[in-house]
Structures are given as structure tokens and as C-alpha cells.
Amino acid sequence: MKLTFFGGVGEVTGSNYLLESEPLDPKDRPTRILIDCGLEQAGHYCEDSNFEPFPFDLKEIDAVIITHSHIDHIGRVPKLVRDGFKGSIISTPPAKDFAEELLLDSEHILGNEAEAKGREPLYTAVDVEDALGLWKTIRYHEIKKIKDFEIELYDAGHILGSSFVVVSTTESKKDKDGRPVDGAVKKKIVFSGDLGNVPAPLVKDTEIVNQADYVLVESTYGDRLHQDLATRQDLLENAIEDTVNSKGALMIPAFAMERTQELLYEINSLVSEGRIPQAPVFIDSPLAIRLTAIYKKYSNNPEYFDAESLAKLRGGDAIFDFPGLQTTLTTEESKMINDVPMPKVIIAGSGMSQGGRIMHHELRYLPDKNSTMLFIGFQVQGSLGRAIYDGEKKVRILGEEVAVRCRVRSIDGYSAHADQEGLIKWLYPMKDSLKKIFVTHGEPEISAEFAAAASDKLAVETEVPQKGESVIL
């Protein structure tokens, strides 16, 4: 097999890997599949690099396997189709449902950003619909044959319907010098996608694989350990109590998918247990509201929801609703939040403050010393959220210079990514069979630190690949 790293290396966005088979019959064309095709993001929602032509022949790609529906893993799929891809796109059913909403929402943002730069958008809503026409779904552990490859999806425990991908193939045996000899050998490679922070509300725990020859593993939080579930609940409780007591606004920039639903689940528990004072809680994100409806669609399905959530639902607890919760679909409803007296809690996108309604609330409440900015997710270098997180006292929002006088807090435990300990734990059952670990999807210094830790603890050869690098497996 030949593996090429076209994205998701040296950065935490833009995941895109090409895997090519070595047919048993040399006259046959290799099977070529992509694992993810994500948007590269940093200081902008869409970096200029996304507009470059794909570095492979789209007509020779047989399929795209989607690990999950975050934009940094699916954001260039419509461009792929627009530029000529005709193969299959494959994911779990929830991942496809989420992708439709997220890609259409992204198309709107991309259109606005392209207009501001005086260029054509990366893709249109028609391209999204064309991509969905090629999109097929499979369940976890349903074997999908794609010519020389067998594909199996495992639950990654990251977000609802997320997967890591196990690809198996049979190749000719070779001697130590690489020359073909009689016989055949089966090879297995695992693409982690994004792995979950176990245990997490709503979704089931990350599954494990006991044997593989090669593995690509993400390293977003490969240099740290997360707070445990009880600690993060306490920190959320404290942030709400402190902001309510000081009569301020608690702003939480949150990704519309998973993070918002986890927050609803947690706040619902805090309200039910009487642990926080009463205050209105606004979900100020049309996308989050639509995605929550998809969560409700799958909420009685034990293939996707964990046992605790299922038990609460079957006991009559509306885990995505509680007294004081208000949703604001329209712009007019969003603006009316300004007229609601303090204190209040506002959950809005985007998760890194790179767009969306959260920016309007930041413009209004960042200068307020009684208010709080609470980060519950990774803030990529160059983003507005990262600048505030890093302690900048003045930032530019919507063309205005804004003073940051409010409290700034963070809760790492709400990350949907596994930490260093979780990543090592996931790799451990494979260690005796692994020939090499490729560390991907992380900022360079973090990937390097995790690679050193994995090599030390697992005694397996570990590499941090470079963008565009190809390796023969």
C-alpha cells in the first residue's frame, strides 16, 4: 500500500489522506481511497490553500471514507465533487445527516468570506446536493468492499456517529529485499479520525482494535491530560454561579455539534439537581438548534447513544430541555437577547469566535467586568478565540477594537478529543502488532511531544509525517 498525507499533518485541520492498494495482479489498476477531505482553517474560516487544485487525479479516486462530520474533516467534499469526483462517499447515517446541515451552513459562511475577498466561493449549495447524491451510509462493523480494500467503521466516541476507519487488503508476499515471492499477506491500517474523550455524555465510549500493522493517530491534545467529568461539572457550575451573582453575561462560544448538546445535557443535570441559580439560558445558533433535532432523531438508538443517556430519556428526562432554556432561530430573536436583563447565559457559535452570533455578544459583553467568557473547546492559533484565551486585552471584532475586561475562563474537560493518556490507552492493544505509528492532526510541537511519549510507552516506531509525504507500507 502507498499512503500520502495531503492534510491534517502539522496542523489540526484539513484532514486528507490518500491510500492506494498494490493489486495482486500487476495489470490491475490500484484501488485509491481518500480518508476525509477537510477544510484547512486558521486565521480564516477558509484558508487560501483550500482553493488550490487537488494534488491527485479525481477520476481515479474510488471512494471517500468520512470519519465524522466536522468541517475540518468534510469541508472540501463538495469541491471534490464539483471538480470531477464521481465515486462513493461513505459514512455512518448520523454523520451524513449532520454533514448536510454543516456543509450548507458552511457554504453560506464561505460565500460571505469569498465575497469579502473578491473571489468565487469554494463551492455552492448545488455542489453540496451533488455530494449528498453520492453519499452512502453503513453501520458500525458492516464490512464494505471497495475493490482491493475492505472498510470497517468503529465507534470513535468523539461525536455522534463518529468513526475510526480500519482498512484491510491482501498483497503479494515479498522477501526482505522487497521482491515478490509465492503467497499473499493481509495488511491492516487504522485511521483514527478524532478519538473521543472518555467518558463523555451522550455518545458511547471509543472502541478498540487489538491488531493492526499501521495506525494514523490524531494528537490534538497529545501533550496534556483533561480534567475529569466531575471537575468539569464543578467548573461549569462555578462559572454560572459567579456570573449570575455578579449580574453579568456568561458567553460560551461552542461548536454547534456535540459541544452544544453536551452543554445542554450538563446544564440540564445542574438544574435538575438544584446546583445553579435560575437564569435564562439562550441557544443562539440556528445550526445548533437544527443539529439538536438530529440528536433527538437518534436519541433512542443504542448503537449511538450511551446507556446513561438512554436511561434518562426512557425515564422521561428531556435531556435537551430544562426550565429557562430558550432557543433563538431568527436574527430578530437573537437581537432580543440584548434586552433581557442580566444575568444570562449565551451559548452561540462559532466555537473559535471566527464568525457567527457569538461575535455580536462578545462585542457587547467583553468590556463588562461582571461578565465571563468561557472556553470549552480547542482554540486554533490565529483565531479570535485563541487571542482572547491567550490573554489579549484588546481585540478587533467586526471592524471594532474591543477591550477585554471580563473574566476569561476555560474548561479543558469538555474537549471531545482524547488526551495523551486516552490516546496511549487506545493504541496500547495494537502495540505488539504495529510496525509504525503516524502521528497526525496536531500542532507541530504537540504532535512531536505525543510521538515521543507514544514511542517511549509503547516501544513502537513513531513518525510525525510532513504534508505531501508518501510512504510505502
Asked whether the beta carbons of 379 and 254 are under 8 A apart, the reply is: no
CA distances to 67, 160, 388, 458 from 98, rounded to whole Å, are 12, 9, 29, 36
**Rounded-to-integer distance, Cα 123 and Cα 74, Å:** 13
**For residue 213, is pLDDT > 70?**
yes
Which has more pLDDT, 462 or 318? Answer: 462
Average pLDDT over residues 407-418: 87
What is the model's pLDDT at position 378? Answer: 80
Span 338-378, pLDDT tens digits: 999 999 999 998 888 988 899 999 999 999 999 999 999 88
What grid cell was written down for 303?
Answer: 448503537
What is the model's pLDDT at position 426? Answer: 98
What is the model's pLDDT at position 205? Answer: 95
Asked whether the beta carbons of 464 and 7 are under 8 A apart, the reply is: no
Span 62-98, pLDDT tens digits: 999 999 999 999 999 999 999 999 999 999 999 999 9
What DSSP state is assigned to residue 178? Answer: S
Domains of the chain: 2-224+416-472 (3.60.15.10), 229-414 (3.40.50.10890)
Span 7-18, pLDDT tens digits: 999 999 999 999
Average pLDDT over residues 275-301: 93
Asked whether the beta carbons of 206 and 155 are under 8 A apart, the reply is: yes
Average pLDDT over residues 282-291: 95
Closest CA relative to residue 272, chosen from 235, 307, 312, 232:
312
Which has more pLDDT, 434 or 105? Answer: 434
For 293-322, give the DSSP string.
Answer: HHHHHHTT-TTTB-HHHHHHHHTT--TT--
Tell me what the pLDDT averaged over the chain comes to.
93
What DSSP state is assigned to residue 40? Answer: P
Asked whether the beta carbons of 208 and 405 are under 8 A apart, the reply is: no
* Highest-scoring range by mean pLDDT, 19-23, 224-228, 296-300, 347-351: 19-23
pTM: 0.89
- How many CB atoms neighbour CB 131 within 10 A? 24
pLDDT bucket at 43, cuts 50 / 70 / 90: low
What is the model's pLDDT at position 45? Answer: 77
**For residue 285, is pLDDT > 90?**
yes
